[in-house]
């Protein structure tokens, strides 16, 4: 079984300031990691994913995340946020990397990013 | 536009009624899945399918049935709706690239 912990339910940040959204996971097998963004009353949009290779992953809208296997973390960062980044952000994990045949994602509970002018 | 289409967008049911939430994708994706989103809970996996004719249970399957007769469609059935099934339901699909594409959701209220 795997689980995802998003350490902050809400993060307020001033516009143009940097932000880090924290995500830790637990799994007994090799995992793939994802960050999704959800704008109000919409579905989820993929920001970035880590499958293998370089531990620093760049995504859309200027976001990036770093996979740290020893700390089982996959924190999301952006150097300068904009009002339009206000949304709910979800970290998710999949054990697709283990080749076990199951599918689907295990999500954290989400972090609400609030950008203050 | 290519993507995942969910219908209806909104639905109100009475306790005990049945209904089917529709999900269709036009990307020829093999893998499809259903999630429910509840406040403060994130999204939880209900059922998934790894291809036509093959389905399996996720984390919260009780009260829901699925089938996958075609690659394109993956309907979710509630046989006897309960207030605990009030939620927002999302369908997702993926190809071999591991990036899941989500539909816009169905907001279901059971009274």
B43-82 residue pLDDT tens: 999 999 999 999 999 999 999 999 999 999 999 999 999 9
Task: Report the pLDDT value the prediction gives residue B54, as an integer from 0 to 100.
Answer: 93
Q: Which residues pair with B100 in a beta bridge?
A: none
Q: Is the CB of B90 less than 8 angstroms away from the CB of A44?
A: yes
* Stretch among A92-96, A108-112, B5-9, B103-107 having the lowest mean pLDDT: A92-96
A61-to-A6, A47, A80, A106 alpha-carbon distances in Å: 21, 8, 11, 24
* Stretch among A15-29, A84-98, B30-44, B76-90 having the lowest mean pLDDT: A84-98
Q: Per-residue pLDDT tens for B18-41? A: 999 999 999 999 999 999 999 988
Closest C-alpha to B64, from B41, B31, B91:
B91
Q: Is the CB of B33 less than 8 angstroms away from the CB of A42?
A: no
Q: Is the CB of B102 less than 8 angstroms away from the CB of A43?
A: yes
B3-to-B42, B88, B95 alpha-carbon distances in Å: 22, 19, 12
CA-CA distance, B45 to A90, in Å (whole number)? 14
Instruction: Please say whether the beta carbons of A23 and A2 come within 8 A.
Output: no
To the nearest whole Å, the CA of A1 is away from the closest chain B CA by: 10
Q: Is the pLDDT reported for residue A29 higher than 80?
A: no
Q: Which residues pair with A10 in a beta bridge?
A: A112
Task: Report the pLDDT value the prediction gives residue A5, as an integer from 0 to 100.
Answer: 97
Positive or negative, the CA dihedral B23, B27, B28, B33 is negative
């Amino acid at each position: 079984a795997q689980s995802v912990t998003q350490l902050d339910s809400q993060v307020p940040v001033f516009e143009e300031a940097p932000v880090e959204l924290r995500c830790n996971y637990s799994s007994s097998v090799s995992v793939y990691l994802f960050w999704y963004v959800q704008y109000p009353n919409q579905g989820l949009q993929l920001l970035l994913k880590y499958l293998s290779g370089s531990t620093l992953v760049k995504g859309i809208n200027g976001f990036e995340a770093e996979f740290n296997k020893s700390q089982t973390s996959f924190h999301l960062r952006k150097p300068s946020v904009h009002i339009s980044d206000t949304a709910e952000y979800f970290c998710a994990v999949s054990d697709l990397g283990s080749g076990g045949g199951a599918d689907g994602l295990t999500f954290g509970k989400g972090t609400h990013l609030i950008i203050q002018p | 536009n290519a993507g995942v289409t969910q219908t209806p967008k909104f639905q109100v049911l009475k306790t005990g009624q049945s209904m089917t939430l529709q999900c269709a994708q036009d990307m020829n994706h093999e893998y499809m899945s259903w999630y429910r989103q509840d406040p403060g809970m994130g999204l939880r996996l209900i059922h998934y399918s790894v291809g036509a004719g093959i389905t399996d249970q996720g984390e919260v399957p009780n009260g829901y049935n699925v089938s996958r007769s075609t690659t394109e469609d993956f309907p979710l059935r509630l046989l006897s709706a309960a207030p605990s099934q009030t939620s927002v339901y999302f369908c997702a699909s993926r190809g071999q690239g591991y990036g899941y594409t989500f539909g816009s959701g169905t907001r279901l209220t059971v009274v």
